[in-house]
Amino acid sequence: MTRDAITRHSPSTGSGSPDVWGIYEPDTGSVQYICACPATKKAALIDVVWNFDPKSFGTGTHSMEQVLDLARQNGLTIDWILDTHPHADHLMASAQLQKRLEVPNAIGAKVRQIAELWREIYNTPDAFDVDCDFDRLFEDGDTFRIGELDVRVMLSPGHTLGSITYVCGDAAFVHDTLMMPDAGTSRADFPGGSADELWQSIQQILNLPDDTRLYIGHDYGTDQRDEPAWEATVAQHKAQNKHVKSGTGKAAYIKTREERDATLALPDRMLAALQINLRGGRLPDAEGDGHAYLKLPVDKF
């Protein structure tokens, strides 16, 4: 698959519909998004990446800068920094963006429960004060606005127990639930994950109107497709998704998902990413030498 950064614009389809830009991050196969109100040029950034080298543990901001440059080029004003869940395969740029932009950052309220789970895994009982590191913790059904556009929050557990989807007009940012129709769905085997819950979340997403544009969190290509892709409609997923197309039963899906998950290795950034992302994308406090240090569990996975 191509390892180049790629940007694509999906224009508004009319009243109540946002402009969407997808910005592909090749190191982790992640897709970052800008969701903008065409009338006001107000925008939200969704799932932006803080670059991380798992060999040197060095960080960088080139993906974040690419997203901000794109917003500037299109005359957009950023009002929100949004994440769909605490990512296991990349560091979230939320805190870095907040310092730069001085606008609120947000994630789902059930991230509090994810933090409890990972405090035990890392044996850090006083870590991860989610309420301090995020300005807004969204509950299922909460609403907010991007310019003149209404956004609704849907709880979408399965990949994690606290994942959320943002529905803005005919665009839904569905993160690590679905993948492209030719790739199926996302894994559900991380701590707190559940293939059963992921099935239920996907059914809720597929109950959106058929013309809803679904924007996924990752793409790794397939044997038949090299170019990354990240947008397909509800109707396309119902007709073509290899794991959950219309006519697929719940039991068959769970069997397929769990058998596939059993073959997957942990992401190489996961044990670093979770203890940073559960701080809103912040490093632990620096120690006496001015450097931050991470705590990594041995033989727990």
Distances (CA, A) of 73 to 24, 66, 76, 209: 17, 11, 8, 32
Amino acid at 110: K
- Is-contact 185 243, C-beta < 8 A? yes
Token pair, residue 294, equals 């991470």
Query: Each residue of 12-52: pLDDT tens digit?
Result: 999 999 999 999 999 999 999 999 999 999 999 999 999 99
Query: Each residue of 162-218: pLDDT tens digit?
Result: 999 999 999 999 999 999 999 999 999 999 999 999 999 999 999 999 999 999 999
pLDDT of residue 5: 82
pLDDT of residue 226: 87
At 51, phi and psi to the nearest 5? -65, 145
pTM of the model: 0.97
- Is-contact 81 104, C-beta < 8 A? yes
Q: Please state, in angstroms and rounded to a whole number, the distance separating the CA atoms of residues 212 and 206.
A: 9
The stretch 66-92 carries a mean pLDDT of: 98
pLDDT of residue 3: 56
Which sign does the torsion angle of CA 147, 148, 154, 159 carry?
negative
The stretch 98-117 carries a mean pLDDT of: 98
pLDDT score of 1 more than 50: no
Query: Each residue of 221-274: pLDDT tens digit?
Result: 898 898 999 999 999 999 999 999 999 999 999 999 999 999 999 999 999 999
Where do the domains of the chain lie, and which CATH numbers do they carry? 6-265 (3.60.15.10)
pLDDT of residue 39: 98
Distances (CA, A) of 31 to 7, 38, 45, 270: 9, 21, 11, 17
Report the chain's terminal Cα–Cα distance, integer Å.
29
